[in-house]
Amino acid sequence: MSSGVKGLQSWDLLRFVVDLGEANTGLTVTLTIQAVGNAMYWTGAAWQAGATTVGAMTEVDATNFPGLYEYLMPAGGLGQSAAIAGYRYRIDENTVPYHETGVLYPWTSRMLDELVADHQVVASIGEAIHRTHAARHSNTRVVYTAWNAAGRPTTGYLLVYLSKASLNADSDPWPLATGRYDFTLAYDGSGRLTSYKSERTS
């Protein structure tokens, strides 16, 4: 038997998976979820002050995956979670028997935002996250630096920004950019673009 509590996949998604073994199919596996910050309990549809269970976890597939049970928080069920420190959970099955308790802590966008905001020195995790974000090209500026005789660009660079505001506020030498990709372009005798090469330089 093994637990596969997946935890907070985002602020609006909480998934639990528990494997009780192939022989343990058709059982009633109950789940309790309590928000740490305000001690509210999840009923399966809403948060309430009194202790309650979510109800039975669902067996994934009694034929192909016997003994595997899961529960997925409905979309938006964790809408209050931005102000919550974490979630206590308890899984109970009285026939096997199986009992498990634990606490889940959020690890997604809010924590990443804090890392990026507070730890941006060279070689820090925040700086690494900045570089990861740079690869997404969500807010970019293209700057051409050379042209051929026909006036077509041959070299230049692409700058990446964390936000639209940073993109619009920046100016040469572009101190607000979080990533840079230098590129070269080549053309054939008819002036048609034949190749484009780009490499990250910062």
Give 144-183 pLDDT, tens digit per residue: 999 999 888 999 998 888 788 888 999 999 998 888 889 8
pLDDT, mean over the chain: 78
Give the three-state DSSP class for 125: helix
Which pLDDT band holds residue 115 (cuts at 50, 70, 90)? very low
Which band of pLDDT confidence, cut at 50, 70 and 90, is reported for residue 81? Answer: very low
Residue 128 CB neighbours (<10 A): 13
**8 Å CB contact between 89 and 102:** yes
How far, in Å, CA of 151 to CA of 132, rounded? 34
* Domain definitions of the chain by residue range: 2-104, 109-200
The span from the CA of 140 to the CA of 162, in Å, is 9
70, 17 Cβ separation under 8 angstroms:
yes
User: Tokens in use for 75?
Assistant: 């979309």
Min mean pLDDT across 24-38, 54-68, 118-132, 153-167 is at 118-132
The pair of three-digit structure tokens given for residue 178, joined into one six-digit string: 């979080």
What CATH number labels 2-104?
A: 2.60.40
Q: Is the pLDDT of residue 112 over 80?
A: no
5-9, 130-134, 174-178, 192-196: which range is least confident on average?
A: 5-9
Residue 27, CA distances (Å) to 4, 19, 21, 57, 129 in order: 17, 12, 11, 9, 44
